[in-house]
Amino acid sequence: MIPEKTSQSKSISSSFRSSDLGFRTENSILEASSIVTVCGLVSFAMKMEKFQELRDSAGKKLQIADYMLTMTHPLVRDPKLLLSVAENLFLAYSYSISSLLHYERLFKRIPFFHDDFRSKLDMFADRCLGKYGIDSENVGIIMDLREMIVAHKKSPVEFSRKDSFVICDGDYRFRTISPSIIKGYVEKAKLFIKKASSIVRKDESIFR
């Protein structure tokens, strides 16, 4: 006959189970905490600086513009597609300029700037063109691209003429967007974005 457990042994057994449960609970908490910490570190390591995100966005928009001009446009033969190329090209320029400004601001080389087109372009022209030997023609190009887009949004009449796209304003003044003009802008943008990207990559090892 197996003797019954004494109250003392029951107490010890109960205490053991409770402490064991507590031990396992603490372990679970520690494991969960470790997982959260590791995930947080990975997330922090993977997080990109603002200038890096903008640099990458500029590259993607340039690729889209180039593909549309060299691959899609020759196939569809629709002059209106040139406007889409211009829009992506404008964004590529805009993102690249913003990337350079955020990079400079991160190292406190330039003062605070407002996040609007005119403010950023003025800051870029004043603090970056001469410093990095960037061709001032790029400022004229991005201004022209912006004017194309604004004119398109306000235009009461637009039409295709041969291989070009024509925008007419309220005073019936015409603005022609031709493949040759856009092609020249794409080539200039490639050089500009390549240079801007190389500038912001100089200290990239700091952020790894």
Average pLDDT taken over every residue of the chain: 84
| pLDDT tens digit sequence for 64-94 | 999 999 999 999 999 999 999 999 999 999 9
| pLDDT tens digit sequence for 148-199 | 999 999 999 999 999 999 999 888 899 999 999 999 999 999 999 999 999 9
Which residue's structure tokens are 């070009």? Answer: 164
Q: How far is it, in rounded angstroms, from Cα 159 to Cα 115?
A: 34
Calculate what percentage of the chain has a pLDDT beyond 70: 77
pLDDT at 56 over 60: yes
Rounded to an integer, the average pLDDT of 47-69 is 95
Orientation of helix 81-106 relative to helix 137-154, angle to 10°: 130
Order of strands, edge to edge, in the sheet holding 174-177? 157-161, 164-168, 174-177
Domain boundaries, the chain: 1-47, 48-203
What's the pTM value of the predicted model, to 2 decimals?
0.76
**Structure confidence at residue 48 (pLDDT):** 84
Residue 91 CB partners (closer than 8 Å, separation 6+): 57, 58, 61
Domain 48-203 sits in CATH at 1.20.120.330
Q: How confident is the model at residue 137 (pLDDT cuts 50, 70, 90)?
A: very high
Q: Around Cβ 57, how many Cβ atoms within 10 Å?
A: 17
Nearest to 147 by CA among 127, 171, 126, 176: 176
